[in-house]
Structure 1
Amino acid sequence: MEQASENALEMIAAAAEPLRVGFFLVPDFPMMTFGAAVDPLRQANRIAGRPLYKWSFLSIDGAPVHSSAGVPIPIDHAIADMPPCDLVILCAGLNHAKAYKPAVFKWLRSVHSRGCVLGGICAGQFMIAKAGLLDGRRCAVHWELLAAFQEEFPRSVASNAIFAVDGPFITSSGGTVTLDMMLYVIAASKGRDIANAISDQFNHPEIRQQDSAQRLPAQTRFGIRNPKLLEIVKVMESSIQNPVDLQVLARRVQLSTRQIERLFVTHLGTTPSAFYAGLRMARAHDLILQTDLSISDVAQICGYMSAARFGRLYRTHYGSTPREVRQGGMARRASIA
């Protein structure tokens, strides 16, 4: 059983060589995230000239698992036949609920009770949380899935950090930042020098800190150079549920509303109200596709008091009603497999 003073990196550092890693793959898992988790271990073995790490691939029933790109991965063991592991990493994508099975949750609780570190990458943390193991724990969640995770697991502490360590759990928000997480794992078990050498091999010039931003900064995403405009956009992005009035924004940046309107038209080719509405609609779109929240709840979260008005605006923006988009998204996800 875990000790109160232990965390995932300390437990990994204390494990015998080779560190035994199991990768549990859920159908439609993302290849980029998977590769960023596995290949650093291979590179560590190559650089060291000996097997520092040993890994195996797991699935519910031992059958091959296809990635979201359609690439099949041969599986070494069903979860019921998993060999002893020091670290088990769950890799899943948008269809993580395909692994919402009692046998998986029972297996996860058993693995945890044996003192194994559990990791979740991209959407793997959904299964760990569903097994009841992340209550009160901080975990990193991909920005696109953050609202869905918070809705489903309000007792977990969802973070927009790139990765997080809390007790015997380590989680990554997915994609390329999984490489950073694995480099921390390698540094903890075999030292910073080998982690740096792997980073160099992958042309990865900086190992990012846990609290680094997941997304590109607003100035890059929107091509903003004006500092006052950038401040306004940041406030808008952080104030979706309770939209800030233009007059309040004007006082904050010490400009007139007319000056703000000119900034938006000059630099972004749109008005402040249209830009703000676009941000709110984008958030609503994510919630429609990634959660089971009612349409009225989505409307409220995105700052619309009237669900009917929200529905009309959404249809104007996306060409379909929220319900049609949700049904279409479910059908597309089901067709991936």
Structure 2
Amino acid sequence: MFAPIPETLDIDLLVLPDTNLILVASVIEPLRVVNRIVGRDLYRWRIFSPDGQAIETKSRIPVPVDGAFRPEKETAPLFVLSSHNWRRNATPALKMALSKTARHRSMVAGIESGTWLLAETSLLDSVRATTHWEDFDDFASAYPQIDMVRERFVIDGKRITTGGSLPTVDLMLEIVRRRQGYSLALEVSRQFIYEQADRRQETSAMPSTGSMRVMDQRVAQAVKLMEEHIDEPLLLARLARRIGLSARHLQALFQESIGVPPHVHYLALRLNAARRKVIESRLPFADIALATGFNSASAFARSYKAHFRESASETRRRLQG
């Protein structure tokens, strides 16, 4: 599932009644954005309910489904989504179906209260896992055989668990990062940027790839400077000096805050800017290279293909028709 390959990944979603609409969107929307950005379906999904009926969400907006959950020997990753009243739907038949299908699935994920259903089916025994913070202590007491950790999401072998809607977005960004690379994951995450009310006079809260935690303010300043200097990239030492830090300290802050060193984030910003110009304009590639801080068209071409697994001309031909 996490292999860095360009093939389409099919995912099955089992959504239980009373699931929050935002939880369903937290799984699907990042994948939809990936498909829109790259111009082809890198991700496809099917949605199932226990009885084949549309899911009545707590917001009273129904979610259409592809059918009832009747798995045979499917190998696609399975995401089990639940928010409220999970026990009402944890029938012996459903638990048996989950137990059987887990033998064949490449991955099984418990999304928010879906973690409880996996635990009830003994699919998390001796596995590191997490769940929603409100339920954490009760869950840990109910299932002492599970190694509970207070994380936003946990990937342990063939099991995934998440602690809520935004942590699920984090998880999906991490999946994209591992499969398609940091540049695309960053571009997807930027579609979900928001500003916190008490920080609007400072700088935008930037969601990081694989973690939606608010950045260290110094990292946020560095990212802002990077975005303002796409065409003439700042050297790390100069960037750090502008913020009042040493280069080594800034390196450490980046690694701690968003999980990559500054040069990786900076290159991703520049390549994403270049890709938008490739798609949205007919500028010569040499001009695009210059506008995004590459010292030659050949250096730009090599970096572009290494990150996006196709040349700039292939991208333009495919998406501009």
TM bin (shorter chain)? 0.5 to 0.7
The whole-number CA distance in structure 1 between the counterparts of 2:55 and 2:31 is: 21
Give the match for residue 144 of structure 1. Answer: 134
- 1:52-67 paired onto structure 2 within 5 Å: 52-67=42-57
Question: Given residue 47 of structure 2, which amino acid in structure 1 is its aligned partner?
Answer: F
Q: Deviations over 1:68-99 (max 9, x none)?
A: 11211111021115794521111111211122
Q: Are the aligned partners of 1:163 and 1:210 in contact in 2 as well (CA < 8 Å)?
A: no
Question: Given residue 102 of structure 1, which amino acid in structure 2 is its aligned partner?
Answer: P
Q: CA deviation at 1:159?
A: 1.9
Is 2:99 the counterpart of 1:109? yes
Query: 2:145 aligned to 143, 148, 155, which one?
Result: 155
Give the match for residue 50 of structure 1. Answer: 40
What is the TM-score with the length of structure 2 in the denominator?
0.59
Change (3 A) 1:114 1:14: farther
The whole-number CA distance in structure 1 between the counterparts of 2:105 and 2:87 is: 25
Give the match for residue 208 of structure 2. Answer: 207
- 1:217-232 paired onto structure 2 within 5 Å: none
Gaps of 5+ in 2: 195-205, 215-321
The whole-number CA distance in structure 1 between the counterparts of 2:208 and 2:44 is: 23
Give the match for residue 27 of structure 1. Answer: 17
The whole-number CA distance in structure 1 between the counterparts of 2:211 and 2:101 is: 25
Question: Given residue 29 of structure 2, which amino acid in structure 1 is its aligned partner?
Answer: D
Change (3 A) 1:125 1:16: farther
Question: Given residue 55 of structure 1, which amino acid in structure 2 is its aligned partner?
Answer: W
Q: CA deviation at 1:209?
A: 5.5
Q: Are the aligned partners of 2:177 and 2:210 in contact in 1 as well (CA < 8 Å)?
A: no
Q: Are the aligned partners of 1:21 and 1:86 in contact in 2 as well (CA < 8 Å)?
A: yes
Give the match for residue 312 of structure 2. Answer: none
Question: Given residue 207 of structure 1, which amino acid in structure 2 is its aligned partner?
Answer: S
The whole-number CA distance in structure 2 between the counterparts of 1:148 and 1:167 is: 24
The whole-number CA distance in structure 2 between the counterparts of 1:28 and 1:112 is: 23
Q: Matched residue pairs, number?
A: 203
Q: Deviations over 1:91-122 (max 9, x none)?
A: 11121112211222222222221142011111
Q: Are the aligned partners of 2:72 and 2:101 in contact in 1 as well (CA < 8 Å)?
A: no
Q: Are the aligned partners of 1:45 and 1:52 in contact in 2 as well (CA < 8 Å)?
A: yes
Q: Are the aligned partners of 2:7 and 2:42 in contact in 1 as well (CA < 8 Å)?
A: yes
Q: Are the aligned partners of 2:75 and 2:104 in contact in 1 as well (CA < 8 Å)?
A: no
SS in 2 for 1:22: strand
Give the match for residue 178 of structure 1. Answer: 168
Query: 2:79 aligned to 89, 92, 96, which one?
Result: 89
- 1:1-337 paired onto structure 2 within 5 Å: 11-13=1-3, 17-80=7-70, 84-203=74-193, 205-207=206-208
Question: Given residue 169 of structure 1, which amino acid in structure 2 is its aligned partner?
Answer: R
What is the TM-score with the length of structure 1 in the denominator?
0.56
Task: Let me know the Cα RMSD of the aligned residues.
Answer: 2.2
Change (3 A) 1:81 1:109: closer
SS in 1 for 2:3: helix
Q: Are the aligned partners of 2:82 and 2:113 in contact in 1 as well (CA < 8 Å)?
A: yes
Q: Are the aligned partners of 2:5 and 2:180 in contact in 1 as well (CA < 8 Å)?
A: no
Flag as ranges the 4+ runs of structure 1 deviating above 3 A: 81-85, 208-213
The whole-number CA distance in structure 1 between the counterparts of 2:8 and 2:209 is: 26
SS in 2 for 1:183: helix
Gaps of 5+ in 1: 1-10, 214-337
SS in 1 for 2:79: strand
Q: CA deviation at 1:34?
A: 1.6
Q: Are the aligned partners of 2:79 and 2:110 in contact in 1 as well (CA < 8 Å)?
A: yes
The whole-number CA distance in structure 1 between the counterparts of 2:209 and 2:5 is: 24
The percent identity for this pair of structures is 28
Q: Are the aligned partners of 2:119 and 2:125 in contact in 1 as well (CA < 8 Å)?
A: yes
SS in 1 for 2:29: helix
